[in-house]
Amino acid sequence: MNGQAPEPGPQHGLLAAVIPADARRFRVKDPFLAEVLREAGAAIVEDFPDVEIADNDGEALGDARLTVVQLSAGRSVGVLPARVAKRLARSFGVRVSAGAIERRLRRRGFAHTSVLLWDLAQPMRLPDGTFGRRRRIVEYVPRNGLVTAAKARPESTVLDAVVAKASAAAGRSLTIGGVSVMGSGLIVDVVDGILRIGIGSGSRQLRAQFETLSRLRAAQPPPTVADRLPKMIAVGRSGLAEWSLETKLPGRPPSSPLAPNLLAEAIGFLVALHRVPGARAELPILGDQADTIAQACSPELVEALREVMASLEAALAEIPRGFAHGDFFHANLLAADDRLLGVIDWDAGGPGRLPLVDLLHLRYNESKRAAAEDWGPYVIETLLPLARAGGDELIRSYCAQRELEPEPRQLLALSAAYWLGYASYQLKMHPHRQHQRAWLALHVDGVLNELVRSGIC
């Protein structure tokens, strides 16, 4: 475990909790992380860094104000008993490695060290002892960690500076109730609000959410939509990070699959959301999504992608556009007693979207095979055949409420448009995807080949 690099993907959100608020110069070898920091406004240097980020303590020179050593045990896959055993073993390995690295750094003269153990979307303990309330057993066995080391007393972090600025903007002192890492950003529970902090690509998501919610509220949605939206209190920038503060909605994320009454309310919300007026103006959106995918797919498939996009535009020309959420599934819903109380995380949303796509995403996440590596195969093996068959009860219920005819040709086009939108979102908001050839082969090239084979173009 010692020295094992973090698993590919955005995990830099944690940096806001440890790097000094005024840090601008970084020594880092990971090219993805270097690009993230450059996007945030940092300088990547070899000499006189404020922060050095290493994958093992042996490569840390120790000349920076803060040294950060990253660890990761990767992701457990396989059948449930094997996944549990691997997770336990890997979490234990991270703890042992972190302890060993911390001891070696102390022997090198670093008087101030700390270990942070964490996992995506789970509460973690900050160096000052702040810790969110644990609710699940899995949260006791985090698979990732980092060790920080400094020879001088720890400085105020980006997180500290953001909390201070957000408190001033809100006109009240914000008390941290818990912190979770969400890949490229931090989610901070400030007791009566939600504070989001993004660095680099994480800032894109913050800006996208703010724009979506601003445009949606300006369109004067009905109460069934408006009452379930978070209200933006303040936005700002602090050092390398951008941040936003929003109201905390009631309820908790429900389990999946959704209970029948909650599912019915979710469909009703999506229908009402898509009917919000003033959203027809964004017709080029399919073309923009295709352009994003064209930059990442195999060169020999670019022309096929253009043909698919042209076919979709023709098949969907008369389909009404409206607002969509873009990532609608149980983890982004808040509920109580099988009633839908709130919908969060709007960075993938916006106007000018096609109907049904949000429901197709929910339907995928309600399936037994919902996992990041299964999305592309699900589109090929389940969604496209389902569209050719005229949909299922869930799809027909939505179509009836949205006054759409669930005709197989249009359902097939809408299914392809759902793939186009979600794949382009992943590539745009998570730039590391563009360099993951295995991910692209499974979720981009594979689906595109199936669309061509099935004759959609």
Domain extent listing, the chain: 12-155, 159-247, 260-453
As a whole number, mean pLDDT of residues 292-304 equals 91
Residue 19, CB-side half-sphere exposure with 13 Å CA sphere = 26
Q: Is the pLDDT of residue 77 over 90?
A: no
Lowest-confidence pick of 9-23, 101-115, 354-368: 9-23
Calculate the average pLDDT of the chain.
Answer: 88
From 168, 104, 128, 119, select the one nearest 18 (Cα to Cα): 128
**pLDDT tens for each residue of 140-161:** 888 889 999 999 998 999 999 9
Confidence of residue 83 (pLDDT cuts 50, 70, 90): low
**pLDDT tens for each residue of 166-202:** 999 999 999 998 899 887 889 999 988 999 999 988 8
Distance CA 141, CA 201 (A): 27
Residue 330, CB-side half-sphere exposure with 13 Å CA sphere = 17
Distance CA 250, CA 147 (A): 35
Question: Which tokens hold the place of 345?
Answer: 């995380």
Same fold for the pair 159-247 and 260-453: no
**pLDDT tens for each residue of 372-426:** 678 999 999 999 999 999 999 999 999 999 999 889 999 999 999 999 999 999 8
Q: Is the pTM of this model over 0.85?
A: yes
CA dihedral 433, 437, 439, 445 (to 10 degrees): 110
Task: With H, G, I as helix, E, B as strand and everything else as coil, classify residue 115.
Answer: strand
Q: Which residue has the higher pLDDT, 78 or 103?
A: 103
Question: Which tokens hold the place of 116?
Answer: 């942070």
Quick one: pLDDT at residue 2?
Answer: 37
Distance CA 368, CA 257 (A): 9
Distance CA 387, CA 407 (A): 8
CB-based burial of residue 317 (10 Å sphere; 0-12 exposed, 13-18 middle, 19+ buried)?
exposed
Query: What is the CATH code of the structural domain delimited by 260-453?
Result: 3.90.1200.10
From 50, 45, 43, 40, select the one nearest 20 (Cα to Cα): 50
Residue 214, CB-side half-sphere exposure with 13 Å CA sphere = 10
From 361, 349, 347, select the one nearest 324 (Cα to Cα): 349
Task: With H, G, I as helix, E, B as strand and everything else as coil, classify residue 171.
Answer: coil
Quick one: pLDDT at residue 135?
Answer: 63
**pLDDT tens for each residue of 86-97:** 888 888 999 999
Which architecture characterizes domain 159-247 according to CATH? 2-Layer Sandwich (3.30)
Distance CA 56, CA 149 (A): 12
As a whole number, mean pLDDT of residues 446-456 equals 88
> Which run of H or E residues covers position 325?
none
CB-based burial of residue 395 (10 Å sphere; 0-12 exposed, 13-18 middle, 19+ buried)?
buried
User: 135-170: string of b/e by CB count within 10 Å (b at 16+)?
Assistant: eeeebebbbbbbbbbbeeebeebbbbbbbebbbeeb
Distance CA 210, CA 167 (A): 19
**pLDDT tens for each residue of 20-68:** 999 999 999 888 899 999 999 999 999 999 999 998 888 899 999 999 9
**pLDDT tens for each residue of 269-288:** 999 999 998 645 455 578 88
Quick one: pLDDT at residue 79?
Answer: 45
Quick one: pLDDT at residue 457?
Answer: 56
Distance CA 333, CA 343 (A): 5
